[in-house]
Structure 1
Amino acid sequence: MKRGTPMKAISVAVLALCSGYASASGFQLIEQNASGIGNAFAGSAAVAENASTIFYNPAGMTQLQDREVSGGIAMVKPSFTFTDSGSSNVGAFQNTGNGGDAGSWAALPNGYLSWALNKDLYLGLGIGAPFGLMTEYKSPWQGAAQSTKFDVKTMNINPSVAFRVNETVSIGGGLNWQKLDVEYRRLAGIIPGLSSGTALLKLKDDAWGWNAGVLFTLSPATKVGVSYRSAIKYKADGTVSTQGLTGGFAGLNGTVNATTEVKLPDTFILSVAQNLSDRWDMLGDVSWTGWAKIPKIDIMNSSTGSATPIQTLDTEFRNTWRVALGANYKYTDALKFKFGIAYDQSPVKGASTRLVSLPDNNRLWFSTGVQWKLDKASALDAGLAYLYVKDAKISNNQGASASPYRGLVDGTYADSCWIVGAQYSLAF
């Protein structure tokens, strides 16, 4: 094997494909491997079954062989379909449709490399996309003044280290360099019925964070993992471009510099992996995500330095919990079947703060998968999950009777999501 080639190829893939709908709550992407899909990611900080433990709990590297590489891809297909029940002052822009299905297929690649320097000290590198979002409405769409497209991409590079303190305790940690890329499109209106155009916001930034974890091997049959990923604060810069305004408002067309500050949330995970018999394993997971760090997003005009935002997204997010339970059945030495269920809480508090760009709600995961050990050094995982999402009420008023005329969107979203993925892991 030519060293470095797999990780280089994976990093290029992540750069190209790391946008997509976040199938965990908010716009978080929990699918940082595909091998955990079959268990609904239960036991994520404790199982350490391949090098992807670098993301969920770097201390798990001490459970791996001397050198391991793991790479995979998850394909995510969300569905967001809107039914109107009282939207108003949005028809002034001659947009009266329901926008079709705002969800589409997204590819989420990942790659990891773990290397033992000696029997107790390990180094690792992970590449993935921990956050992402894509909603895009078809025309005609009566909520177009609030959003027609919202696309959030991230890429995360995570060098890590792990140390076996003794046979019971291992510790690990890492740094995270993360890149953020945002594109936001909407209808831009000055006076309803007289002049309307389109606005395009583009923002970019990169920032640093960290992660750490502890793995307790309480017995050969019982492992407990605890891990934490820090919040990452961005000050993203870019532009807002307006075009299509006519008549006396045509002079407002053009491009100005824009900036915003946002802190992507931290996450805490507590996991248990319990071997029940020669055939059965049970897995459990409780995680917390600090979404309340995003009460709102103010988009500022940095060309003028004005203290008044160009636009404010009033997210009013709340902190969330996720609980997962999984099981593995070892059919033969080479073949293992996986099962999982999870409850995932949404950071959206209610209808008045639900955004058309993020029509999110609480969801249940139903997952299954299979692992096939090709030989002593390699394994292939495949997983499938269906996310049942509770119908999401929306009654978001962004200026139904006064400037900026973005209207009241009132109705219900029928949401759901499918996830399918595969992961290849190799020791060498």
Structure 2
Amino acid sequence: MHQKSVAQALFAAFTLGLVGSAGASGFQLLEQNASGLGNAYAGSAVIGENASTVFYNPAAMTKLSGGNFSTGLSIIKPSYKFNNDGSSNAPAVTGSQGGDAGGWAALPNLYGTWQFSDRWVAGIGVGSPFGLKTEYENDWVGRFQSSTFDIKTYNVNPSLAVKASDSISVGLGLNYQRMEAMYQRQAATQHPTIPAANTTVQNTTVTLEATSEAYGWNTGLTFKVSPTTDLGLSYRSKMFHHLEGTLNSSNQAVAANVFAKADITLPDMYIFSVSQQISDRWEMLGDVSRTNWRSVDKVDIVRTSGVASGQVAQTLDANFRDTWRIAFGGKYKIDDSWKWKYGLAYDQSPVRGTEERLVSLPDNNRYWFSTGVQWQLDKTSVIDIGAAYLYIPKSKIDANQPGRGHVVGSYDGSIMIFGAQVTKTF
């Protein structure tokens, strides 16, 4: 069966209603479970409390016995409101502030693990590690740079872990990933049937739709320093996507059904985590992670058919930098059935500054404030509920793209995340 058919079969049920929208900085999605949301994902590479550790650190699967199933849903509500401060557009010089470019997003996940010997555990996870959607009102002043930008990824991650000794475990996973991208903007283009050189078409919409499939890997280890202290280290590889699709426009301002391509390398990531049991009731968690966003630099959209085949239609100049994320959190055991979770995090943005900020990704550093509860229904069933508020400082923008206008102003931004997860052991 063709790879695309396999992907469609795997994701037919999973992707119903899914909309990608970044919760972590850039367009990364850390929200691969709800059990870690209450801790701001502190300790993500060491906890191993349910099957979702397949994503964060496969080595921690050895902490799970028997069979484990976990599924959850995160609801993300980003808000990006633009404040105009003298923007100018070519050929238009007017426009609205675009409304709220953020919208509601649903992010499901699904995991399973199986212990088939005293030392070996296998697992599989299905999730969406990268995603983004910004959508402005059609008449907004920056419409010639972007009106809609939508990225979705779907990731399948089979994994294997072994308990090398009483204190050390090692894990390895493979990843198949599908990406879908849609980029839409308005253009002012000379009309193909009217010879006047200064005649332009207003409200011409240019749309790129493209897909790609890529493969990667992830690995990790856990180390028990003492009966009360655990360490975890994990790594996820880069994913090289060769997007192919069509570039179309309304009003026939450019040729219809022009084929196009674009290459993008999604970043690799390291996570170092620590878990410290303070008492029978208190557990403290810490996390330091690095995402190598410099792999996302200049993305050329290249025509691959028509009279302009081989020419660059547009370049998205992201010029990202590598980033750090630091998280602290804890758990408090209220009684045999309930735990309270909390967490704080600082999440650095890959956007370098005012002139590098894109209207399609008005990102800035983020500060996480998280809390949640865990409810042990019975010996085999657990429910996690979490919530987080992400504060984003005012983000100034000075994006000048010749022929596509000069967007000057600032963004007021924030993100709300709500998550729920059900875990079952067998």
Would you call these one fold, judging by a TM-score over 0.5? yes
C-alpha displacement at 1:150, in angstroms? 0.5
Q: Is 1:18–1:132's contact at 8 Å kept on the other side of the alignment?
A: no
Equivalence for 1:27: 27
CA distance in structure 1 between the aligned counterparts of 2:75 and 2:13, rounded to whole angstroms: 13
C-alpha displacement at 1:295, in angstroms? 1.0
| 2:16 aligned counterpart, secondary structure | helix
CA distance in structure 2 between the aligned counterparts of 1:288 and 1:194, rounded to whole angstroms: 46
Q: Is 1:45–1:57's contact at 8 Å kept on the other side of the alignment?
A: yes
Equivalence for 1:343: 346
C-alpha displacement at 1:9, in angstroms? 11
- The correspondence for 1:256, drawn from 239, 258, 261, is 258
Letter in 2 for 1:308: Q
CA distance in structure 2 between the aligned counterparts of 1:301 and 1:414, rounded to whole angstroms: 36
Structure 2 vs 1, CA of residues 117 and 326 (structure 1 numbering), >3 Å: closer, same or farther?
Answer: same
Q: Does 1:224 align with 2:226?
A: no
Equivalence for 1:281: 283
Q: Is 2:304–2:310's contact at 8 Å kept on the other side of the alignment?
A: no
Equivalence for 1:138: 137
Structure 2 vs 1, CA of residues 386 and 9 (structure 1 numbering), >3 Å: closer, same or farther?
Answer: farther
| 1:390 aligned counterpart, secondary structure | strand
Over residues 176-198 of structure 1, what are the superposed CA-to-partner deviations in whole Å (9 max), with x where a residue is unaligned?
Answer: 00000001110011258732311
Q: Does 1:353 align with 2:356?
A: yes
Correspondence 1:70-149 to 2 at 5 A: 70-90=70-90, 92-93=91-92, 95-149=94-148
Equivalence for 1:42: 42
Equivalence for 2:3: none
| 1:141 aligned counterpart, secondary structure | coil
Over residues 284-329 of structure 1, what are the superposed CA-to-partner deviations in whole Å (9 max), with x where a residue is unaligned?
Answer: 0000001000111000001157443100000000000000000111
CA distance in structure 1 between the aligned counterparts of 2:173 and 2:338, rounded to whole angstroms: 33
Structure 2 vs 1, CA of residues 12 and 72 (structure 1 numbering), >3 Å: closer, same or farther?
Answer: farther
| 2:312 aligned counterpart, secondary structure | coil
Letter in 1 for 2:242: K
Quote the sequence identity (%). 50
CA distance in structure 2 between the aligned counterparts of 1:398 and 1:295, rounded to whole angstroms: 16
| 1:349 aligned counterpart, secondary structure | coil
Letter in 2 for 1:335: W
Moved more, 18-27 or 266-275: 18-27
Q: Is 1:148–1:185's contact at 8 Å kept on the other side of the alignment?
A: yes
| 1:93 aligned counterpart, secondary structure | coil
Correspondence 1:205-216 to 2 at 5 A: 205-216=212-223
Query: How many positions carry a matched residue from both structures?
Result: 410
| 1:155 aligned counterpart, secondary structure | strand
Q: Is 1:18–1:155's contact at 8 Å kept on the other side of the alignment?
A: no
Where structure 2 has 5 or more consecutive residues not aligned to the other structure, the ranges are 1-7, 191-197
CA distance in structure 1 between the aligned counterparts of 2:18 and 2:221, rounded to whole angstroms: 28
CA distance in structure 1 between the aligned counterparts of 2:212 and 2:161, rounded to whole angstroms: 29
CA distance in structure 2 between the aligned counterparts of 1:143 and 1:53, rounded to whole angstroms: 41
Letter in 1 for 2:51: A
Equivalence for 1:238: 245
Q: Does 1:271 align with 2:273?
A: yes
Moved more, 340-349 or 134-143: 134-143
CA distance in structure 2 between the aligned counterparts of 1:140 and 1:187, rounded to whole angstroms: 9
Equivalence for 2:193: none
Letter in 1 for 2:98: G
C-alpha displacement at 1:144, in angstroms? 0.5
Equivalence for 1:53: 53
Q: Is 2:133–2:149's contact at 8 Å kept on the other side of the alignment?
A: yes
Correspondence 1:183-198 to 2 at 5 A: 183-190=182-189, 194-196=200-202, 197-198=204-205
C-alpha displacement at 1:11, in angstroms? 4.6
Q: Is 2:89–2:141's contact at 8 Å kept on the other side of the alignment?
A: no
Letter in 1 for 2:397: I
Moved more, 17-26 or 95-104: 17-26
C-alpha displacement at 1:253, in angstroms? 4.2
C-alpha displacement at 1:95, in angstroms? 4.8
TM-score, normalized by length of structure 2? Answer: 0.93
Structure 2 vs 1, CA of residues 10 and 423 (structure 1 numbering), >3 Å: closer, same or farther?
Answer: farther
Equivalence for 1:414: 412
- The correspondence for 2:365, drawn from 343, 362, 365, is 362
Where structure 1 has 5 or more consecutive residues not aligned to the other structure, the ranges are 1-7, 400-404
Equivalence for 2:390: 387
Q: Is 2:240–2:263's contact at 8 Å kept on the other side of the alignment?
A: yes
CA distance in structure 1 between the aligned counterparts of 2:332 and 2:9, rounded to whole angstroms: 33
Q: Is 1:222–1:272's contact at 8 Å kept on the other side of the alignment?
A: yes
| 2:123 aligned counterpart, secondary structure | strand
Over residues 226-262 of structure 1, what are the superposed CA-to-partner deviations in whole Å (9 max), with x where a residue is unaligned?
Answer: 00000000111000001125xxxx5x34220000111
CA distance in structure 1 between the aligned counterparts of 2:16 and 2:404, rounded to whole angstroms: 33
CA distance in structure 1 between the aligned counterparts of 2:262 and 2:19, rounded to whole angstroms: 20
| 1:244 aligned counterpart, secondary structure | helix
CA distance in structure 2 between the aligned counterparts of 1:80 and 1:58, rounded to whole angstroms: 35
Equivalence for 1:291: 293
| 1:59 aligned counterpart, secondary structure | helix
> Superposition RMSD on alpha carbons, in Å?
1.6
Q: Is 1:103–1:134's contact at 8 Å kept on the other side of the alignment?
A: yes
